[in-house]
Amino acid sequence: MSDYAGVWLRNDLRLSANPALAAASEVNGEQRCIPALLLICPAQMDEHDWAPIKWDLYVRQLEAFVVEAAEQGVLLHIEVIDSWRTAGKSVKRFAEQHGLTQVHINAEYPVHEQRRDRAVQGVLQLMQVALKVHHGSVIVPPVVTTQSGQVYQKFTPFARAWRDYVAQHGVPRSAPLPKRAAAKPATIPEIDYPRRDSSAWAVGEANAQQVLRDYVNNQSSHYAAERDMPALDSTSRLSAYWEIGLLSPWQAAAVLSELSPTFPFGLDKGADTWLTELIWREFYSHLMHHVPRLSYGHAFLRHTDAMQWRQDNEGFQRWCDGKTGFPLVDAGMRQLAAEGWMHNRVRMIVAHFLVKDLLIDWRWGERFFMQNLIDGSFAANNGGWQWSASTGTDAAPYFRVFNPTLQSEKFDPDGSYIRKWVNELKDCPAKHIHAPGNWLKQQGRTDYPQPMVDHKQARERVLAAFKSL
């Protein structure tokens, strides 16, 4: 009996650069369709704090994907399940229904997903069905280690190893799917999960690929010079597409490689800096794969789990609402509320403020970001928050405490970004915009709050707390 392969899809709603789908296609040949299963688990989404805007983007892409997949002969079935613990039953039923000898998947790296996949593999082994694992959400699979075989705990040596791996193995690619007889489009079941409008982000593979190509070819050269200036909005905003699997970072590497014959070397400074951000994303995915405790809300630096954080619910709410009295912090939080997205430099600034100035547990901020970001990444969001909190791998030293006013002066010098998002300060002169307290008093205004904390005193407080560890 010849092999017959199906695909178990997860956050990989694309036909291109999808190694699991490409491998199943090669096994089946052009005359047979590709059975595919998509399991959606709202309970697990809730546990991972999926933002309603991220879910809306996922559903919109799913609506486009079911049509595109059917046209390519992908026979897709979508099932809603209550728990990942029942995934084995669904995959078993899928394999039996289609007489599969192989099921192909793209790996997911958080610990619950790894445990789920091992359980499903055990079920399939009893049926003598092979589970074939691919790595379609990263450019370099989580196999690079130090010379002693340990996971990299610092980004710089990891990045060197990452580049060396790509130079040796090349940019990963998968062949386009051959034309097959069309299948019936899948029915999308009703799913009870809150949604928030994501229409500012286009869906459909062709649209997303064009956004990627336009950014790399026309804007990436400016990335190094402009990436920290939130008013310029010079970042790609492609991160939301990585997270729902509309694009694979394989595709980013492929477009970047067209700019340099020695890729991943030889890029101009802007494109190379943008590539470094993709490597950071992979660094955090590798860590999530290798260090299970990161999936359970524990600090990478174990001793920092003993930190005595302040249980300041009122202060946390003021941070969430963008009413801290520090204009750049408030602008970032209000952008998040309005768009479901925040500029990367501002993400670092608001995170530092919560953890260092307010001495509030980084896990509170990590969860709030996930609950609101369209590009919320379980791995990258955890890594970024632990970096800011000085609790993670390659973290900012605990004594590095961002001064929110100086950060504002440096990265939004004329206050354009602040004025866009903090309506109370739209008429504030540039010389007062970063510390508007006295100007507001002179105007007799109380519509914007005074700073909720003295930064110098807060810095001394957090340094003392870290030294006590």
Is residue 91 located within the same domain as residue 67? yes
A 10 A CB-CB count for 311 gives 10
DSSP letters, 165-189, are HHHHH-----PPPPP----PPPPPP
DSSP letters, 239-298, are HHHHHHTSS-HHHHHHHHHTT-TTTTSS--HHHHHHHHHHHHHHHHHHHHHH-GGGGGT-
The stretches of 322-377 forming alpha helices (DSSP H) are 327-339, 344-352, 362-372
Active site residues: 277, 280, 309, 344, 362, 385
Does the annotation list 409 as a binding residue? no
> Which residues are CB-contacts of 352 (< 8 A; sequence separation ≥ 6)?
388, 396, 401, 402, 404
| Residue that finishes a domain, picked among 117, 136, 155 | 136
For the domain that residue 10 is a member of, what is the CATH number? 3.40.50.620
pLDDT computed for residue 94 by the predictor: 98
| Residue that finishes a domain, picked among 83, 109, 136 | 136
- The conformation of residue 451, written as its DSSP 8-state character, comes to P
The two tokens of residue 373 are: 């970001």
Does the annotation list 282 as a binding residue? yes
Query: Exposed e or buried b for every residue in 269-305, given b needs 16+ CB within 10 A?
Result: ebbbbbbbebbbbbbbbbbbbeeeebbeebbbbeebe
179 domain residue, yes or no: no
Is residue 433 located within the same domain as residue 345? yes
185 domain residue, yes or no: no
Q: For 196, phi and psi rounded to 5 degrees?
A: -135, 140
Average pLDDT, 10 consecutive residues per value, the chain (469 residues): 93 96 96 97 94 98 97 97 95 98 96 94 97 97 93 95 97 92 95 96 97 97 96 94 97 97 98 98 96 93 94 98 98 98 97 98 98 96 95 84 97 98 97 96 95 97 94
CB 71 within 8 A of CB 182: yes
The two tokens of residue 416 are: 């354009």
CB 340 within 8 A of CB 374: yes
- The conformation of residue 369, written as its DSSP 8-state character, comes to H
Amino acid type, 245: G
Is residue 306 located within the same domain as residue 286? no
177 domain residue, yes or no: no
- Taking CA atoms, 8 is separated from 98, 102, 143, 182, 379, in Å, by 13, 10, 23, 19, 22
Q: How far apart are CA 213 and CA 255, in angstroms?
A: 7
Does the annotation list 445 as a binding residue? no
The two tokens of residue 454 are: 């003295």
| Domain span at 22 | 5-136
Evaluated on CA atoms 89, 59, 283, 256, the torsion sign reads: positive
Is residue 262 located within the same domain as residue 323? no
pLDDT computed for residue 1 by the predictor: 62
Does the annotation list 239 as a binding residue? yes
Is residue 352 located within the same domain as residue 373? yes
Is residue 315 located within the same domain as residue 409? yes
The model's pTM: 0.96
CB 93 within 8 A of CB 212: no
pLDDT computed for residue 200 by the predictor: 97
Is residue 16 located within the same domain as residue 122? yes
Is residue 460 located within the same domain as residue 351? yes
What strand order describes the sheet that includes 34-40? 74-80, 34-40, 5-9, 102-106, 130-134
pLDDT computed for residue 218 by the predictor: 96
Does the annotation list 101 as a binding residue? no
pLDDT computed for residue 175 by the predictor: 86
| Residue that finishes a domain, picked among 136, 170, 188 | 136
Is residue 105 located within the same domain as residue 227? no
Q: How many domains does the chain have?
A: 3
Is residue 13 located within the same domain as residue 95? yes
Is residue 47 located within the same domain as residue 130? yes
Does the annotation list 281 as a binding residue? yes
Is residue 101 located within the same domain as residue 126? yes
Report the chain's terminal Cα–Cα distance, integer Å: 63
